[in-house]
Structure 1
Amino acid sequence: MPTSTDFSHELELFRTEAEGALQFFYAWNAIHEVAAHDEKVQRLLNQAPMLWNTSLGALQASTFVALGRLFDPDTKNHSVTRLLARAHSDLSMFSKEALAERKRNLSPNADEWLPEYLRTVYVPTNEDFRRLKRHVAQRRKIYEANYRPLRHRVFAHRGVSSRDEVADLYAKTNILEMQKLLVFLRRLHETLWQLYFNGHRPVLSPARYSVKRILDQPSPNPQRAALQERLVTDVRAFLKAHSQCA
């Protein structure tokens, strides 16, 4: 049975993996999207095409390698499977008593406000985790059908060699679908973090995922925006600023 400390560590490892994959892909996607609609940015990139093509290729490869780790069904590896298995195997770590102890460790005056706080705390059930596992199963099915073959046969291991074979694998992928997969993983981490540290009901909150939509309608409060929104905004600001001198 995992200890609370084990789960906290697993949760943090999952965060770094999920955020890494998201950052790799959204940086790659945002560079392409901004350049496609701005001739000055295109000229900037064309000043050092080999550098930018190398960087874009590295971002793309890193995305697929990270996705493979995240959706690995083996619980021996630090994947979404392992994270949910650890959480579901010991629901006592989400009890009000366990949460109160975590709050006391973080706040010296916790006992002054804990009784009132604990009245609104949600204690998860087996069904909560079965529901989250169903969400993961739906996304894993998409990953295994459309992205795992490309990851295994092109990025992790060179199993195909002809351009036509590679093109056939890419034909199964979809930009919006990939965005949804990556943002889902980030939302799942946030859901489990809020449950573990704040006692919030484990419900997946909506989040924007379309790079085009983020560029067309920036967040009114960038500092509080989701990670993918902040990254897309940074990419555009950087490219726009430097393209003025291109």
Structure 2
Amino acid sequence: MPEKNLYVPPSPPDIQKEIEIFRKEEEAAQQTFFAYLGIRDLLSKRPDVRAAVNRNSMFWLTTNHALFVSTFIWLGRIFDTKSAHNVGVLLKAVEQNLPKLDRKALRKRKEEFIAPAEAAEYVEEKHDTAIDDVRELRKQVREWRKIYESVYGEVRDHLAHNKGAKDELDALLARTNIDEMKRMFAFLHGLHEALIELYLNGRNPLPLPDVTFNPPPTRPRHPGDEAYAEAQASLLSMVGEQLGRLV
């Protein structure tokens, strides 16, 4: 009798690749959001910059709208459960790769760069990732997904599927909160930092790193900070001014 084909489960996804995909998506969302804020914040304070922008108003209106829409589209890619590489898929990849996130696997990775004895010493106090870590991260993602779906996902769906209906969009935007969005982006960026440090250096991902976005004149630390600063630098250059003079 012919042998029956035995089911062979698929190999776990490449965890480093999944973390990198997540980085690109959360940073893209972060950059468009903070570039949008950088333009908005400066125009609210500087009549001379507004006058310069109004000389090329179509371009700046288009840019402003593109940044606004892109922010919500990128957030949708991160939180929507049907997208190919959403944050839930990322945490599933972490769960499926737990053996690659223990001290033994970390030691093997470090041995590619340092002597085996040094690698063994390096991992002695490092973190062995457990399913409880994944459960806690999932809990925090669920909390933010609930916020996203009830408010920001509604905006995303309107932008993606409805042309016009400005009154409806305005009603949805009235429920959003910029400080809440900043905290959302801080969570997403902290999640990436925690997972890449876990993979590369064996650091415990919990609690997540505390991420705070610092607009100028504080030195930019995150992509959102840089996007905010560069958006304002671009505007200020139109009136012959450098960002360093902004207070």
Band of TM-score, shorter chain:
0.7 to 0.9
More helix by share: 1
Tell me how far apart the structure 2 counterparts of residues 95 and 44 of structure 1 sit (CA, whole Å).
Answer: 56
Q: Paired residue for 2:232?
A: 236
Letter of the structure 2 residue corresponding to residue 235 of structure 1: A
How far has the Cα of 1:178 moved from its partner?
Answer: 1.5
How far has the Cα of 1:226 moved from its partner?
Answer: 2.0
| 2:203 pairs with 1:197 | no
Alignment of 1:108-119 (within 5 A): 109-119=114-124
| 2:82 pairs with 1:82 | no
Q: Which of 146, 151, 166 is the matching residue for 1:146?
A: 151
Q: Paired residue for 1:185?
A: 188
How many residue pairs end up in the alignment? Answer: 232
How far has the Cα of 1:14 moved from its partner?
Answer: 0.8
- Is the contact made by 1:43 and 1:243 (CA closer than 8 Å) also made in structure 2? no
Could you tell me which runs of 5 or more consecutive residues in structure 1 were left unpaired when the two chains were aligned. Answer: none
Tell me how far apart the structure 2 counterparts of residues 6 and 69 of structure 1 sit (CA, whole Å).
Answer: 19
Q: Paired residue for 2:64?
A: 56
Tell me how far apart the structure 2 counterparts of residues 83 and 196 of structure 1 sit (CA, whole Å).
Answer: 13
| 2:102 pairs with 1:95 | yes
- Is the contact made by 1:208 and 1:214 (CA closer than 8 Å) also made in structure 2? no
Runs of 4+ with deviation above 4 angstroms: 1-5
Q: Paired residue for 2:23?
A: 15
Letter of the structure 2 residue corresponding to residue 229 of structure 1: D
Tell me how far apart the structure 1 counterparts of residues 184 and 192 of structure 2 sit (CA, whole Å).
Answer: 13
Letter of the structure 2 residue corresponding to residue 157 of structure 1: H
Change (3 A) 1:2 1:99: farther
Letter of the structure 2 residue corresponding to residue 67 of structure 1: L
Q: Paired residue for 1:206?
A: 210
Alignment of 1:42-53 (within 5 A): 42-53=50-61
Cα distance per residue 1:217-239 (max 9 Å; x no partner): 513xx4xx122222222222332
* 3-state secondary structure, aligned to 2:215: helix
Change (3 A) 1:68 1:43: same
- Is the contact made by 2:33 and 2:68 (CA closer than 8 Å) also made in structure 1? yes
How far has the Cα of 1:2 moved from its partner?
Answer: 7.2
Change (3 A) 1:2 1:193: farther
- Is the contact made by 1:68 and 1:151 (CA closer than 8 Å) also made in structure 2? yes
> Identity, % of aligned pairs?
33
Tell me how far apart the structure 2 counterparts of residues 82 and 5 of structure 1 sit (CA, whole Å).
Answer: 10
How far has the Cα of 1:241 moved from its partner?
Answer: 2.8
Change (3 A) 1:2 1:132: farther
Q: Paired residue for 2:171?
A: 168
* 3-state secondary structure, aligned to 1:147: helix
The answer to which of 10-19 and 116-125 deviates more is 116-125
* 3-state secondary structure, aligned to 1:67: helix
Tell me how far apart the structure 2 counterparts of residues 193 and 14 of structure 1 sit (CA, whole Å).
Answer: 10
TM norm structure 2: 0.86
Tell me how far apart the structure 1 counterparts of residues 14 and 238 of structure 2 sit (CA, whole Å).
Answer: 45
Cα distance per residue 1:123-166 (max 9 Å; x no partner): 1221111111111111101100001111112x2111x6433222
Alignment of 1:126-137 (within 5 A): 126-137=131-142
Q: Which of 128, 137, 150 is the matching residue for 1:123?
A: 128
The answer to which of 24-33 and 119-128 deviates more is 119-128
| Larger Cα-atom Rg | 2
